[in-house]
Amino acid sequence: MEYKEITGRPVYAYMAEVCASGGYWISMAADHIAANRMTMTGSIGVVWSFIDYSGLFDNLGLRTVTVDSGEHKSIGAMGTEITPNQVAVIQSMVDEYIDVFVEFIADGRNMNPQTVRSIADGRVYTARQAYDLGLIDEINGWDVVLSDFETLTGVSAFYPNLMADTSFWGMLAKVTSGSFSRSEVDIAMNAIDAFPRGVPLAIMPEYMG
């Protein structure tokens, strides 16, 4: 959202295979969401799970000794039972996080929050189901989506050469993969900032893995 505000550029999202839960959350910054017909998306929800080993520890004759500063400080400690009060504490956090998730979707998709909540039961949706529910805008392949983007914006997208280590885009590839130096990051970010406003940058989904 900050990028759009600073540059004035539209942001389009393309879902290639799986774009669910956190992936769908991120796509709420997009002005238009397209998905491959085999995409799985949605999974609107929050989960926080623990394994209760207390029964196993009892069978093995083991016990956990935990010294903490409060009743809920050691929630999830191995070998301790998850109490109803602790479940309630975790549930209150999950409820707050799902409220934020629903708010993001309602704002990003211009949907009624109650409508969003009615479909936010954690399930994943096919592209067709997501389209029918208003969660995405288009079902198409990458080539068609990119062509439509170029038609709507009136400019031609270009591809960085992510495989050339000696190029600027090679440095950008390092940035996305984590194998970079601070100076390379600065060079890459400064170059991106210098791009003419309104020039789209298309990065193939298979390069984003």
- Cβ atoms 40, 62 nearer than 8 A: no
Question: What are the structure tokens assigned to 49, written together?
Answer: 């799970």
Query: Of how many residues is the chain composed?
Result: 209
- Cβ atoms 36, 15 nearer than 8 A: yes
**Catalytic entry in 4, 73, 147, 181:** 73
Q: Where are the alpha helices (DSSP H) in the chain?
A: 2-7, 22-27, 54-60, 84-109, 113-119, 127-133, 142-153, 168-177, 182-193
* Separation between Cα atoms, residue 101 and residue 28, nearest integer Å: 10
Question: What are the structure tokens assigned to 141, written together?
Answer: 């392949």
What residues are paired with 33 via a beta bridge? 13
The answer to whether 21 is a known catalytic residue is: yes
* Separation between Cα atoms, residue 106 and residue 169, nearest integer Å: 36
The answer to whether 74 is a known catalytic residue is: no
Question: What are the structure tokens assigned to 3, written together?
Answer: 């990028």
Question: What are the structure tokens assigned to 95, written together?
Answer: 């409820």
Catalytic positions are 21, 73
